[in-house]
C-alpha cells in the first residue's frame, strides 16, 4: 500500500484530501505545516507528498527545497497561484507535478497515480478505477434500498416514493443513494462532499442546496422533515418516517 504525506494547513481541506486518498487505498499521513512535514519525512519514508504551497510557517517553495535536501520522494504541489513563473519556480525547486486549487479529488488521484508510475512507485490497485464515478459505493453490490415508502435502486438509478417514480437530477440521485446506503446513520456534510461530490473544495452550502431540492421532491420541508433528518452540527440521516 503506497503511503502519501498530505501537507495542508486548512483542517477541513486536509481531512477531505485524507479521505479521498484513504478511500483509494493509500496509507495517509498528514502534517499541518512545513516543519511538521520535514519531521514526518525524516521519521519514516513516504512514497509521495502532496504539498500545499501556502503554509503558515514556511514558504511552500522553501519547504519543498528543504524536503529535497533530505529526500527524493515525489512531490505533488498544490498551489492557489495559477501563475506561470510561479509554477516554473516550483518545478525548478524539485516538484514532480502541480495542481492548481481548487482541484477535484479525481484530479488529485490521477496526478498522484501518474507521478507514482513515473517514479516507479505503483498506485494502489483501486486507484484510477473509480475516478469520476459518482456513487461512492462503487465496487459494492448495487442493491436497492427501501426506507419507509421510499425505494432507491442504484443499479437502475430510479427512486420511487409510494410507488411513484421521482425525477431527480444526477447529483440529487447520488446524494439520496449514498444516504440510503447509510440509512439510519448520521452522515456529515464533509463526508458527502468527499464521497458524493469528490471535490474537497466544494462549499458545505452546495450540500444544503441539493438537500433542500431533494426535500422538495420528497414532499417535505426542513422545518417538518420526514425522511431527511438534520442532526444539528453533525450531519444528516435518512430514516423511515414515524
Ligand atoms: Ca494553505
Mean pLDDT of 211-234: 91
> Are 172 and 227 found together in one domain?
yes
> Are 114 and 9 found together in one domain?
yes
Instruction: Count CB-CB contacts under 10 A for residue 21.
Output: 25
Which tens digit of pLDDT belongs to each residue from 9-23?
A: 999 999 999 999 998
Instruction: Supply the pLDDT for residue 200.
Output: 63
Q: Which of 71, 103, 118 is the last residue of a domain?
A: 118
User: Tell me, what CATH number does 172's domain have?
Assistant: 1.10.10.10
> Are 234 and 177 found together in one domain?
yes
State the Cα angle at 221 between 220 and 223, rounded to 5°: 135
CA of 172 relative to ligand 1 center, distance in Å: 31
Q: Which of 118, 136, 157 is the last residue of a domain?
A: 118
Helices 204-217 and 170-181 sit at what angle, rounded to 10 degrees? 90
Is 113 inside any structural domain?
A: yes
CA of 71 relative to ligand 1 center, distance in Å: 22
Instruction: Supply the pLDDT for residue 46.
Output: 92
Mean pLDDT of 217-236: 90
Is 183 inside any structural domain?
A: yes
* pTM for this model (two decimals): 0.56
Question: What are the grid coordinates assigned to 180, written together?
Answer: 440510503
> Are 12 and 97 found together in one domain?
yes
Which tens digit of pLDDT belongs to each residue from 135-193?
A: 333 444 467 888 999 999 988 889 999 989 999 988 899 999 999 988 898 888 888 88
> Are 86 and 152 found together in one domain?
no
CA 220 to chain centre: 29
Is 171 inside any structural domain?
A: yes
Q: Which of 101, 118, 135 is the last residue of a domain?
A: 118
Is 61 inside any structural domain?
A: yes
Q: Which domain holds residue 51?
A: 3-118
Is 135 inside any structural domain?
A: no
Residue bearing the bigger pLDDT, 222 or 228: 228
Is 29 inside any structural domain?
A: yes
**Strands of the sheet with 97-100, listed across from one edge:** 27-31, 3-7, 48-52, 75-79, 97-100
Instruction: Supply the pLDDT for residue 131.
Output: 39
CA of 116 relative to ligand 1 center, distance in Å: 24
CA of 216 relative to ligand 1 center, distance in Å: 37
CA of 60 relative to ligand 1 center, distance in Å: 9
> Are 47 and 89 found together in one domain?
yes
CA of 171 relative to ligand 1 center, distance in Å: 29
pLDDT band for position 203 (50/70/90)?
A: confident
HEC string for the chain: CCEEEEECCCHHHHHHHHHHHHHCCCEEEEECCHHHHHHHHHHCCCCEEEEECECCCCEHHHHHHHHHHHCCCCEEEEECCCCHHHHHHHHHCCCCEEEECCCCHHHHHHHHHHHHHHHCCCCCCCCCCCCCCCCCCCCCCCCCEEECCEEEECCCCEEEECCEECCCCHHHHHHHHHHHHCCCCCECHHHHHHHHHCCCCCCHHHHHHHHHHHHHHCCCECCECCCEEEECCCEEEECCCC
Instruction: Supply the pLDDT for residue 76.
Output: 94
Instruction: Supply the pLDDT for residue 205.
Output: 80
Which tens digit of pLDDT belongs to each residue from 25-79?
A: 899 999 999 999 999 999 988 999 999 988 999 887 888 988 988 888 999 999 8
Which tens digit of pLDDT belongs to each residue from 95-140?
A: 988 898 888 888 899 999 988 888 777 777 765 444 333 333 344 4
Is 37 inside any structural domain?
A: yes
CA of 119 relative to ligand 1 center, distance in Å: 26
Our count of domains for the chain comes to 2
> Are 161 and 112 found together in one domain?
no
Is 79 inside any structural domain?
A: yes
Amino acid at each position: 500500500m503506497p503511503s502519501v504525506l498530505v501537507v495542508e494547513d486548512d483542517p477541513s481541506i486536509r481531512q477531505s484530501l485524507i479521505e479521498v486518498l484513504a478511500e483509494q487505498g493509500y496509507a495517509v499521513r498528514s502534517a499541518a505545516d512545513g516543519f511538521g512535514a520535514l519531521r514526518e519525512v525524516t521519521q519514516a519514508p513516504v512514497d509521495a507528498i502532496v504539498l500545499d504551497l501556502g503554509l503558515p510557517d514556511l514558504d511552500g517553495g522553501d519547504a519543498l527545497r528543504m524536503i529535497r535536501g533530505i529526500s527524493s520522494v515525489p512531490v505533488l504541489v498544490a498551489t492557489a497561484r495559477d501563475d506561470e513563473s510561479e509554477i516554473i519556480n516550483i518545478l525548478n525547486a524539485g516538484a514532480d507535478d502541480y495542481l492548481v486549487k481548487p482541484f477535484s479529488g479525481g484530479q488529485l488521484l490521477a496526478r498522484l497515480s501518474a507521478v507514482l508510475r513515473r517514479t516507479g512507485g505503483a498506485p494502489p490497485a483501486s486507484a484510477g478505477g473509480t475516478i469520476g464515478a459518482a456513487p461512492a459505493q462503487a465496487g459494492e453490490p448495487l442493491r436497492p434500498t427501501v426506507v419507509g415508502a421510499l425505494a432507491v435502486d442504484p443499479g437502475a438509478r430510479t427512486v420511487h416514493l409510494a410507488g411513484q417514480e421521482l425525477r431527480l437530477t444526477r447529483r440529487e440521485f447520488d446524494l439520496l443513494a449514498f444516504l440510503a446506503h447509510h440509512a439510519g446513520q448520521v452522515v456529515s456534510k464533509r463526508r458527502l462532499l468527499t464521497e458524493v461530490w469528490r471535490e474537497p473544495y466544494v462549499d458545505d452550502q452546495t450540500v444544503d442546496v441539493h438537500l433542500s431540492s431533494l426535500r422538495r421532491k420528497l414532499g417535505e420541508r426542513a422545518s417538518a422533515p420526514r425522511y431527511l433528518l438534520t442532526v444539528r452540527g453533525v450531519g444528516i440521516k435518512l430514516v423511515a418516517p414515524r
